[in-house]
Amino acid sequence: MVAIPVPAARPTLIQRLDGAAIFYVFALPFAALTIVMGLWPIALSIQTSFTESFTALSPEPTFVGLENYREIFADPQFIRSINLTLLYTVLSVALNLTVALAYALFLNSPLLGRAAMIFKLCVFLPVITPDLAGYIVWKWMYNTDFGAINAGLNALGLPDFAGTSSQSTAMISLLIAELWYHVGFYVIIFLANLAMIDKSLIEAARMDATPPWRMFTRIILPQLRPAIMINSVYALIQFLKTFTVVVVITKGGPAGSTNFVSYHAYQMFDQAQYGKAAAMASTLFAGVMVLAFFVYWLNQRADWR
Amino acid sequence: MASLRRLKKLILAGTASSMIAASPAIAEELVVWHDLGDNGIAWFEALNELYQAENPDVTITSVSFPTDQWFGKVIAALNTNTAPDLIYNNYERVIRIENQTDKVADLSDLLAAQGDLPFLTESDKGVAMYDGKMIILPIQRVQMAFGARKSWLEAVGEDMPQTWDDVMRVAKKFQTEDPDGNGADDTFGMALQAARPRDLIHMLDLYTFGAGLRHTLIDPDGNIVIDQPEHKAVLTEFLKSFTDYGLVSPDTVNHSFGEMYQLIEGGRAGMFRVGDWNVKKWDGEDVLGGDFVIGEWPSHGDSENAVVIGGMRGVAVPENSPNKDIAMDFAAFMLSAEAQKASLENVGAAVRGDFDIEGFSERRLYFAKPEHDLNAYDFPESVHAFYPELEAEYHRVLLDAIVNPPDDWASFIDETAEAMRAKATELAG
Amino acid sequence: MRPNPVVKAAMIALASFISLLFVFPYLWMIAASFRDTEAILTAPLRLWPESFSLKAYRDILVLSGEPLSTYLINSLLITGASTVFTVLTSLMGAYALTRAPHLPGFGLLRVGFLLVIMYPYMLLVLPVYLVMFQLGLLGTTIGIILFLSVGPIQFFLFEQFFKSIPREVIEAARMDNASEMKILMRIVAPMSMPVVMTVILITVLLNWAQWFPVLVISRSTDTYTLPVALLSLNSELGVNFQGIMALATLTTLPVIIVYLLTQRRVMEGMISGAVKG
């Protein structure tokens, strides 16, 4: 093909930029945002974790090496908050994934027919509404004085639920509220995966009169591996960082029983303990990365059959 | 269309305010950050009008944040030189700001320049000092009385409680005799708060100072006082209010201001703290409609009962205030009779009363023209820099005991006293 | 095997009950905003208000000295503008990074982006205060909008879509000597319309819900959005429970309506974004 030369046409700016340069132009706004709103604050935060809190925001901060890290790990409150966070994360991931899988299998049943769409809609509804509003409603529903939860339990003839007022039930209360908020997401991921399952394998197994449990563990579960991996990584990151629900419902209480790392660090920051807060943030960051990669790796290598 | 115009204005305002931030000197707008809500905003609007009569070029704008946001914002702003012109809050909160920023200006000279101010007592001024600096000008004395629902007392045939024994008896009746007559078993004797350190210890302060004692946890010499007999008695009653007596909602361990007010304003609690700033709202039709009586805190044994001065609210000027001189001038103006009157009218508290007050309810007059005994909080945080941490530890221990009550309160208090001594020594060292 | 009608009815009943549990908080919230305190205290479970009192809505017409419309306009403005920025930047960024992944610096950019989304979000927001301060954007709507414009799920959705475009389509265009700009505008953009719509929707829903960055970057109530106003309703000065429920309703309802109108697209978008991430 012969290009017809256009007389005296000077190449436009865009033409001159063509080739590699234009890709840099495309990527520039994205790169600028990522650097300015992401990497820069992270770098600042990591730098702050090595400085003395009182000078952290001054033009010439005093660097104290690992002192902040040493202090936070010597603080029993922080250790407790790590343990609480881990416990909460494990429980949440297990609960959300189990409930999501069970409900997805249930919704996947052909017996539900077209109504399944409406049920899907309901379970997914909390995921897209503002979390703050949802948790504020839960907070009041848990209220032992006039909340709907105890009224409901009483109506069913069940004993009162202490909800967020007791150390032993506060974490469970948050688990339930967060389950309500997040589980819809995991359900639709499972449903999407179930829709792609190889039906012929199931038919074949049915012909062999495979018992249902065996069918589930041997035929269905292995094929759900992608969804399980996505959900577990997501849930892990999600629950390690649990924050809004604590701010709204328990403020870390009662008696520190829901004082998770992110909230603990946030409070430190609010009290101008910038060095310690940043050290906690970096610790949590490292934890999230390590665990996320670990789960990813586990899922990659696990023998599912 | 109107909303579109507003949208445009907002975008422009966004850019304009960023320009102002870059060159603060040209703006003669003073910004005050406080946590007094709508009443406070109305008060500063009134002050703006009064102040503009003399200073037509200056505009006063106030922003109200919820208390915890106020802390975070002020500390961050002072530390990054993005401070507002003035900050306004309770004295002990300004101490915390000073503690963590070291950027609150000394107002001693400003106060001295005002000449003789007979309405400020030596103790008022003493309270405003911290670390050799006068960090606030005292603008409002914060009085906190004991309140009870008037119609409830009538319903159960009782008078305003005078002693803790009375409180116990009345509370039982409030809980069991359906004092609001709605046929539901849904009332509590008292409303308290306990979630965060200041919530719980502040309630204990009221019990303690209301009973005429002088210190809650630690005295100025650094001695832990909680196992002294009269303190021990008050502390035991206080803890039992949550546990053995069950005077409060079981949810209280999780309650902060908000939840406590929900119980009071929702008509679920019979006895409660009444701050001078609460009365205006609670006199209102749709809240309590004035259906409450206020008085001194109940006494314990033969102790003196009193209304507690829970502190001073005052105005402070950050060292890095963008318009420091005007800010100082406005701070001093807040002590003038007209400004003080506006304070009493809008927020319910002031430090001077040398002006006419018309149309005030009986309950508002109670605070405006005090004729009762007053016992002022001792402000341990102004003597012991480590106090907030000690208090946080104390809060943890007490809350643990409320959640898992010990068998023997006396020995629990003895052990706690020892633990606090050890902690205080550690923190002081 | 024929479906047993009894089993089918039981399953539908069970699914309906579970669905009700998920929707209940919203119904309770809406009901509570219309009921008076006394009524809520005596019958907490009731979902149909005995009377439709608009008092709570009147009470929140002015919040912290700002008219409710300020918060609403801020919400709309911030959500709208940050959506435009997020979609444009992540669209162009993802396009560049998929078309030319081996250009120097692009690999690094991708790793950097992954780091950012791994960082605990609420702890990232705190140093952002300092960044905003140094940029002179503290307390401005623009600062909030820019921070909200970093979107992981959006990037992944676009990246995944661009990877699915057959190479031949673009190669053919290149053979015709079309410029990269032309390829993007004439060939890729029209194909991307459905995915762009999905991303816009998801971004609107996500950014409407944002509260923490707005709270941290703001220096006055002037820049607060509806969720932040909702958080600030709990103050030392007393709580208006019905007001909170009314504001929660106003904050949630627009989103629910958008979601109900576009459900399929939202769900599918979320799935593909997650599958990639």
What kind of fold does domain A76-301 have according to CATH?
MetI-like fold (1.10.3720)
Contacts with C37 from chain B: Cβ below 8 Å: 266-267
User: pLDDT at residue C238 above 70?
Assistant: no
User: Do the beta carbons of residue A120 and residue A103 sit within 8 Å?
Assistant: no
What global pTM score does this model have? Answer: 0.80
- Are A148 and C259 within 8 A, CB to CB? no
Which residues have CB under 8 Å from B399's CB, separation 6+?
Answer: A253, A254, A255, B194, B200, B253
User: Do the beta carbons of residue B311 and residue B142 sit within 8 Å?
Assistant: yes
User: Do the beta carbons of residue B197 and residue A271 sit within 8 Å?
Assistant: no
In degrees, rounded to 5, the angle at the alpha carbon of residue B364 between the alpha carbons of residues B360 and B365 is 75
Report chain B's C-alpha Rg in angstroms: 23
Give the C-alpha separation, B399 to B64, whole Å.
30
Query: Any CB–CB contact under 8 A between C123 and chain B?
Result: no
- pLDDT the model gives residue B14: 44
- In which band, very low, low, confident or very high, does the pLDDT at C276 lie, cut at 50, 70 and 90? low
Chain B residues 153-182 within an 8 A CB cutoff of chain C: 182
Mean confidence (pLDDT) of chain C: 85
Higher-confidence residue of A263 and C167: namely A263
- What are B371-425's pLDDT values in tens digits? 788 888 888 877 888 888 899 889 989 988 998 899 999 999 999 999 999 999 9
- pLDDT the model gives residue B17: 44
- pLDDT the model gives residue A18: 58
- pLDDT the model gives residue B335: 93
- Are C122 and A243 within 8 A, CB to CB? yes
Winning range, highest mean pLDDT, from A8-17, B109-118, B369-378, C111-120: B109-118
User: pLDDT at residue B26 above 80?
Assistant: no
- pLDDT the model gives residue A158: 81
List, as one string, the DSSP characters of B43-76. Answer: HHHHHHHHHHHH-TT-EEEEEE--HHHHHHHHHH
When scoring C36, C75, C144, C239 by the number of chain B Cβ atoms within 10 A, the one with the most, hence best to mutate, is C239
- pLDDT the model gives residue C237: 52
- Any alpha helices (H) in chain C, and if so which ranges? 5-34, 37-42, 55-59, 68-99, 106-118, 121-135, 141-148, 152-164, 167-175, 180-182, 189-209, 212-217, 226-232, 241-276
User: pLDDT at residue C184 above 50?
Assistant: yes
Give the C-alpha separation, C220 to B34, whole Å.
11
Residue A186 has a CB neighbour count (10 Å cut-off) of 30
Winning range, highest mean pLDDT, from B46-60, B117-131, B369-383: B46-60
User: pLDDT at residue B218 above 90?
Assistant: yes
Higher-confidence residue of A187 and B81: namely A187
Q: What is the CATH number of domain B27-142+311-375?
A: 3.40.190.10
Give the C-alpha separation, B170 to B164, whole Å.
10
Domain boundaries of chain B, sorted by first residue:
27-142+311-375, 144-309+380-428
- Any alpha helices (H) in B102-219, and if so which ranges? 108-113, 122-127, 150-155, 164-176, 197-210
User: Do the beta carbons of residue C129 and residue C138 sit within 8 Å?
Assistant: yes
Mean confidence (pLDDT) of chain B: 85
User: pLDDT at residue B309 above 70?
Assistant: yes
Contacts with B80 from chain C: Cβ below 8 Å: 129-130, 133
- pLDDT the model gives residue C225: 94
Give the C-alpha separation, B347 to B281, whole Å.
10
Range from A141-145, B399-403, C148-152 carrying the lowest mean pLDDT: A141-145
Q: Chain-centre distance of CA A266, in angstroms?
A: 18
Q: Residue C127's closest chain B neighbor by CA? A: B76
- What are A42-73's pLDDT values in tens digits? 998 899 899 988 777 777 788 888 999 999 99
When scoring A137, A263, A264 by the number of chain C Cβ atoms within 10 A, the one with the most, hence best to mutate, is A137
User: pLDDT at residue B7 above 70?
Assistant: no
- pLDDT the model gives residue C249: 94
What is the rounded average pLDDT of the residues C228-251?
80
Give the C-alpha separation, A298 to A229, whole Å.
9
Q: Residue C234's closest chain B neighbor by CA? A: B258
- pLDDT the model gives residue B21: 45
Range from B55-59, B370-374, C218-222 carrying the lowest mean pLDDT: B370-374
Residue found by looking up tokens 């475009």 in the block? C165
Contacts with A269 from chain B: Cβ below 8 Å: 72
Say whether the ipTM exceeds 0.90.
no
Whether the domain at B27-142+311-375 and the domain at B144-309+380-428 fall into the same CATH topology: yes
Contacts with A253 from chain B: Cβ below 8 Å: 195-196, 253-254, 399
What is the rounded average pLDDT of the residues C163-186?
80
Q: Residue C27's closest chain A neighbor by CA? A: A137
Which residues have CB under 8 Å from A193's CB, separation 6+?
Answer: A223, A224, A226, A227
- Are B253 and A254 within 8 A, CB to CB? yes
- What are A188-214's pLDDT values in tens digits? 889 988 888 888 888 888 888 888 888
What is the rounded average pLDDT of the residues A147-163?
82
Domain boundaries of chain C, sorted by first residue:
1-53, 63-276
Residue B345 identity: E
The helix (run of H) or strand (run of E) holding residue B293 is: strand B292-295
Tell me which residues of chain B have a C-beta less than 8 Å from any C-beta of chain A: 68, 71-72, 75-76, 79-80, 100-102, 186, 188, 195-196, 249-254, 256, 259, 263, 266, 268, 396, 399-400, 403-404
Contacts with C73 from chain B: Cβ below 8 Å: 3, 6-7, 10
User: Do the beta carbons of residue A191 and residue A107 sit within 8 Å?
Assistant: yes
- Are A57 and B75 within 8 A, CB to CB? no
- Beta-carbon pairs below 8 A across chains A and C: 264
- Are A143 and B400 within 8 A, CB to CB? no
Q: What is the CATH number of domain C63-276?
A: 1.10.3720.10
Q: Chain-centre distance of CA B270, in angstroms?
A: 21
User: pLDDT at residue C236 above 70?
Assistant: no
What is the rounded average pLDDT of the residues B252-267?
82
Q: What is the CATH number of domain B144-309+380-428?
A: 3.40.190.10
User: pLDDT at residue A14 above 80?
Assistant: no
- Torsion sign over Cα A271, A273, A279, A282: positive
